[in-house]
């Protein structure tokens, strides 16, 4: 098994947890400013905070949710590639994917203009497609 490709996946997992912490660090003070007292609430979901907290606070949560979506395909792809093998170019692609996802996170959490965010998303999607095709070819 070639395990070098697992490193970018581990980095993306760590980044996802950083975004989780950032989301909490932004949301708890914002909820206090909005007069939301957690000890007086039951149930609820993060989506309930839409329109209640300022948008820039919710951007972190939106990005955290995004990191739980498409990157799951990346993790599966990386595991397949680790098992069946990959070229050095695919390893570069894995690092490029992680770099683009981190850039996407930072952009969405801090600036969040759609054209740049969409471009980063599409670029990372094309990189993931390249990796997935390579995983399929190697597996066959």
**Mean pLDDT throughout 103-110?**
98
The reply to whether CATH 1.20.1740.10 applies to domain 6-139 is no
What is d(CA 8, CA 30) in angstroms, rounded to the nearest whole number?
33
What are the tens digits of pLDDT across the range 58-94? Answer: 999 999 999 999 999 999 999 999 999 999 999 999 9
Contacts of 52 (CB under 8 A, 6+ apart): 34, 36
The share of the chain scoring above pLDDT 70, in percent, equals: 95
Tell me, what's the pLDDT at 18? 98
Q: How far is CA 43 from CA 23, 38, 51, 58, 65, in A?
A: 19, 10, 18, 19, 19
pLDDT at 34: 85
Interval 28-64: pLDDT, tens = 898 889 888 777 767 767 676 777 788 899 999 999 9
Read off the pTM. 0.93
């Amino acid at each position: 098994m070639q395990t070098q490709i697992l490193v970018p996946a581990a980095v993306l997992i760590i980044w996802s947890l950083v975004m989780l912490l950032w989301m909490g660090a932004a949301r708890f003070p914002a909820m206090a400013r909005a007069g939301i007292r957690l000890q007086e609430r039951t149930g609820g979901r993060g989506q309930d905070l839409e329109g209640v907290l300022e948008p820039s606070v919710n951007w972190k949560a939106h990005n955290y949710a995004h990191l739980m979506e498409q990157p799951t395909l990346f993790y599966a792809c990386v595991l397949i590639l680790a098992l069946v093998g990959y070229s050095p170019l695919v390893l570069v692609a894995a690092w490029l994917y992680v770099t683009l996802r981190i850039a996407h996170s930072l952009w969405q959490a801090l600036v969040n203009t759609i054209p740049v965010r969409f471009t980063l998303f599409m670029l990372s999607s094309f990189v993931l497609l390249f990796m997935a095709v390579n995983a399929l070819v190697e597996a066959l």
